[in-house]
Amino acid sequence: MHDSSSRSLVFDPHTEQTTMNIAKFEDLLGLYLDEGLSNESMEEFEQMLLQSAEARRTFSEQMNLHAMLREFFRPTSVVQNRFTA
């Protein structure tokens, strides 16, 4: 038996909508960014993205932030070599 707090998506009978477990999504997103998701976790993460607009929005924001941080903290020598080749 699974506790509802451990499930990624939970059906709310009052609103008749599926809501996302934010904490679980954030954990999976962190693992995704660190390339640490197992196959099972990747499937769960993908389902959350497919079923939740909020998850897709958060994913997009975090991916943009991650890309900007990688670009900002890229070693200077890599940037210089990129233009001298």
Q: How far apart are CA 14 and CA 23, in angstroms?
A: 21
pLDDT, tens digit, 9 for 90 and up, residues 17-46: 456 788 889 999 999 999 999 999 999 999
Query: Are 8 and 20 spatial neighbours (Cβ–Cβ below 8 Å)?
Result: yes
Which tokens hold the place of 1? 């038996």
Whether the predicted model's global pTM rises above the 0.85 cut: no
d(CA 16, CA 26): 24
- Examine the pLDDT at 84 and tell me if it is beyond 60: no
**Distance from C-alpha of 44 to C-alpha of 37, rounded to nearest angstrom:** 10
pLDDT tens digits for range 64-79: 999 999 888 888 755 5
User: Taking a C-beta distance cutoff of 8 angstroms, is the pair 55, 49 a contact?
Assistant: yes
Confidence label for 81 from pLDDT (cuts 50, 70 and 90): low
Q: How high is the pLDDT of residue 79?
A: 53
Domain ranges of the chain: 4-84
